[in-house]
Copies of this chain bind each other. A is one copy, B any other.
Amino acid sequence: MATLKYSRQREAIKEFLNSRDDHPTADTVYENIQQIYPNISLGTVYRNLSLLVSIGEIIKITTAQGPDRFDARTTPHNHFICRDCHSVIDIEMEENGDLEELAAKRFAGIIEGHTTNFYGLCGNCTKKVQK
Q: What secondary structure prevails in chain A residues at the interface with B?
A: mixed
Say which one of A7-15, A21-29, A89-97 lies at the interface with B: A89-97
Q: Which residue of B lies closest to A62 (CB)?
A: B64
Residues of B within 8 A of A36 (CB): none
Annotate A87-113 by CB proximity to B: 1 below 8 A, 0 otherwise.
001011111110110110111111111
Known: A89-B107, A91-B107, A126-B110. A99 touches B119 (CB 8 A): no
Cβ of A78 under 8 Å from chain B: yes
On whether the beta carbons of A118 and B100 are closer than 8 Å, the reply is: yes
Cβ of A5 under 8 Å from chain B: no
Interface residue from B64, B102, B121 paired with A109 (Cβ < 8 Å): B121
Cβ of A82 under 8 Å from chain B: yes
On whether the beta carbons of B109 and A119 are closer than 8 Å, the reply is: no
Q: Which residue of B lies closest to A122 (CB)?
A: B109
Residues of A within 8 A of B (CB): 60, 62-64, 68, 78, 80, 82-83, 89, 91-97, 99-100, 102-103, 105-126
